[in-house]
Amino acid sequence: MMVRNVDIAVLGAGPAGMAAALAAAQGGAITVLIERENHLGGILKQCVHDGFGLLRFGEKLSGPEYAGRFVHMVREAGLPVLTSTFVAEAHRNSEENILMLVDRSGVTELHAKVVVLATGCRERSARQVMIQGTRPAGVMTAGAAQYYVNVLGYLPTTRCVILGSGDIGLIMARRLTLEGAEVLGVFEAKSTPSGLSRNIAQCLDDFGIPLHLSRTVTRIFGDDHVEAVETAAVDEKMRPVVGTEERLCCDGVILSVGLIPENEVGEALGVPMDPVTKGPVMDQNGETQVPGVFVCGNAGHVNDLVDYVTESGERAGAAAAAFVAGRHKGRLLPVMVDSTVLLYAVPQFVDMDSPESHAVVYFRSREELGTTLVQVAARGEMVARHRYQHLRPPEMERLEIDLSLIPADATSLDIGTESIVAAEVKS
Amino acid sequence: MRELTCIVCPNGCSLQVNQDVDPWHITGNLCPRGIEFARKELTNPTRTVCSTARTSFAAARRLPVRTRGEVPLASVRSVMSEISCLVVDREVQTGDTLIENVAGTGVAVVATADLADLIEGEDRNGRSICSGD
């Protein structure tokens, strides 16, 4: 069996992986970009709608256009790319990562000083939202429906309901409607939508598609193929309310019920995971708790903007190259969130000796909040603050912390709203 | 008072428009684009239409396309039916015009991917890891 050595192996050639590989190569490391498909671009290839790249390029691009710009950069940089190549197994010895790669020529053992995980995320499936019973055709995730319509050119349903109000579900409500299918409604068990408000406006309201909040699909009828669904209102504990059931005839159930970071390779390499984000515990440069394993993009935590995915890829790639050149992380400060207000914040740790003067922290709120002042405190001193007009769980927010403002004896960074910081100052 | 959600950027500002005064009083926007959006939305709403077009190539059955600019919201359906009649039979590149003036809107429909890439994939450029650098 062939054995090869590289400095950095980037796994996944979506927006995170392409940005990471470009930054790693620019940092002087021998880098290889590994992709299991025959195309670069990841999920962006099937995201034909626009809205990508406003922060990055100041333009509203479609997914393929955004990906295309990075594909051209990868080609121009002459970056070694291994497509149709699958990581079948991964483990570590004392100093490096060992990946068993399978491609059309066979199996190769790749030794990499650093692995950058850019493996993206997966959609939660019907089984994961407790839809049990028979498996009639016609139940599929929004991403699968998107692949059928946009890549294969098939219309997988003529009359459907959408369960869950995630962004891909909203985008597919519009897409299926435009292609001639009838979308009866979007059903969301929670009392607030999961997708961005602009997608509710431009994907549902534009086409008169109803959004039913606090209502879910309780049963799917049909043996070989979906024939109907039963929907029902749910109470605050998400239990169906008896007497509110309604039967709708349809041939499709499209699921948009959440995304989960994909970390099979990371787990094989022994990377500790955060149970809330379902991604690796990391610092602001994407370095995990296993030296020589970095993460970026949706494998780290699910983002709602590709622009932020690219940003995280660039940081991880540059830091991975610095690691190869001999840089080791410094003192790590844990980032603590007020979990009554915020769902999570990433990174989980800030490397105080990072070469970048600022650390970028992303966070989501637990519930919808009005105008809110979010503050970061260290040893009771405020080191960053930003006023947000509103905070909503579907909208990830971004905050920059100037590392030079953090007191040398700080033991943690505490993120909360004004009252929390005030309480700390007093104590 | 009209309530709108701005769709210009991911912020998705909730806009309140008071049409009883002249000029309209618009609040809730974080940037000037929100004012422009509200004015247009309540007089002549427009959208970019993104879709896919049929191709004559078996290895890439659909080509992603979009309108180069925005078209009136009321024209979206006729834009879609014109796109659905299209068959792309040459290896167009991102930005190439496929329809000059779609549904009489004066706006072009353009490709948003390189068809050659979709057809051949990346393996033609890449190498097997065994083949050496």
What ipTM score was computed for the predicted complex, to two decimals?
0.92
| pLDDT greater than 60 at residue A201 | yes
Residue A105: pLDDT band by 50, 70, 90 thresholds? confident
pLDDT at A277: 95
Residue B5: pLDDT band by 50, 70, 90 thresholds? very high
CB contact under 8 A, B52 and A65: no
Residue B104: pLDDT band by 50, 70, 90 thresholds? very high
pLDDT at B63: 98
pLDDT at A185: 98
pLDDT at B125: 63
CB contact under 8 A, B50 and A305: no
**Residue of chain A nearest B55, judged by CA positions:** A153
Q: Does B85 touch chain A (CB under 8 A)?
A: no
CB contact under 8 A, B51 and A50: no
- Express as a percent the part of chain A with pLDDT over 70: 97
**Best residue of A55, A197, A391, A392 to probe chain B, by most B CBs closer than 10 Å:** A197
A26 to chain B, minimum CA–CA distance in Å? 18
A214, A152, A147, A202: which is closest to A177 by C-alpha? A202
Tally of CB atoms within 10 A around A267: 12
Average pLDDT estimate for A53-75: 96
Q: Which residues pair with A342 in a beta bridge?
A: A365
pLDDT at B130: 47
Q: Does B94 touch chain A (CB under 8 A)?
A: yes
pLDDT at B11: 85
CB contact under 8 A, A150 and B52: yes
CB contact under 8 A, B112 and A64: yes
Q: Write out chain B residues lying below 8 Å of A37, CB-based.
A: 121
| pLDDT greater than 50 at residue A91 | yes
User: Can you tell me which residue has the tokens 């369960």?
Assistant: A163
CB contact under 8 A, A65 and B112: yes
pLDDT at B124: 72
Size of interface A-B (CB pairs under 8 A): 127
Residue A369: pLDDT band by 50, 70, 90 thresholds? confident
Q: Write out chain B residues lying below 8 Å of A4, CB-based.
A: 129
A245 to chain B, minimum CA–CA distance in Å? 31
Average pLDDT estimate for B34-50: 96
Residue B132: pLDDT band by 50, 70, 90 thresholds? very low
Residue B128: pLDDT band by 50, 70, 90 thresholds? low
**Facing residue for A198 by CB, picked from B7, B48, B94:** B7
CB contact under 8 A, B128 and A80: no
pLDDT at A307: 96
- Summary mean pLDDT of chain A: 93
pLDDT at A424: 42
Q: Does B108 touch chain A (CB under 8 A)?
A: no
B23 to chain A, minimum CA–CA distance in Å? 25
3-state secondary structure chain A: CEEEEEEEEEECCCHHHHHHHHHHHHCCCCEEEECCCCCCCHHHHHCCCEEECHHHHCCCEEHHHHHHHHHHHHHHCCCCEECCCEEEEEEECCCCEEEEEEECCEEEEEEEEEEEECCCEEECCCHHHCCCCCCCECEEEHHHHHHHHHHHCCCCCCEEEEECCCHHHHHHHHHHHHCCCEEEEEEECCCCCCCCHHHHHHHHHHHCCCEEECEEEEEEECCCECCEEEEEEECCCCCECCCCCEEEECCEEEECCCEEECCHHHHHCCCCECCCCCCECECCCCEECCCCEEECHHHCCCCCCHHHHHHHHHHHHHHHHHHHCCCCCCCEEEEEECCCCEEEEECCEEECCCCCCEEEEEEEECCCECCEEEEEEECCEEEEEEEECCECCCCCEEEEEEHHHCCCCCCCEEEEEHHHHHHHHHC
Residue A423: pLDDT band by 50, 70, 90 thresholds? very low
Q: Does B74 touch chain A (CB under 8 A)?
A: no
- Summary mean pLDDT of chain B: 92
CB contact under 8 A, A150 and B133: no
Residue A378: pLDDT band by 50, 70, 90 thresholds? very high
pLDDT at A131: 73
Average pLDDT estimate for A332-341: 94
Q: Render pLDDT for A212-233 as a digit per residue (tens, 0 to 9).
A: 999 999 999 999 999 999 999 9
**Facing residue for A202 by CB, picked from B7, B30, B61:** B7
CB contact under 8 A, B122 and A104: no
Alpha-carbon distance values, B1 to B6, B33, B41, B42 (Å): 15, 19, 14, 12
**Facing residue for B10 by CB, picked from A150, A198, A389:** A198
Interatomic CA distance for residues A204 and A177, integer angstroms? 10
Lowest mean pLDDT of A6-10, A289-293, A338-342, B127-131, name the range: B127-131
CB contact under 8 A, A81 and B128: no
Q: Write out chain B residues lying below 8 Å of A398, CB-based.
A: none
pTM: 0.94
**Facing residue for B5 by CB, picked from A32, A75, A198:** A198
| pLDDT greater than 60 at residue A337 | yes
Q: Does B4 touch chain A (CB under 8 A)?
A: yes
**Facing residue for A81 by CB, picked from B73, B118, B126:** B126
CB contact under 8 A, A201 and B12: yes
Q: Which conformational region is residue A424 in: left (phi greater than 0), alpha (psi within -120 to 50 degrees), or beta?
A: alpha
Between positions 8 and 67 of B, the ones with CB within 8 A of A are 9-10, 12-14, 30, 47-52, 54, 61-62, 64-66
CB contact under 8 A, B14 and A64: no
**Residue of chain A nearest B4, judged by CA positions:** A201
pLDDT at A132: 67
A103, A97, A66, A100: which is closest to A81 by C-alpha? A103
Interatomic CA distance for residues A416 and A373, integer angstroms? 8
**Facing residue for A196 by CB, picked from B12, B80, B112:** B12
Q: Write out chain A residues lying below 8 Å of B132, CB-based.
A: none
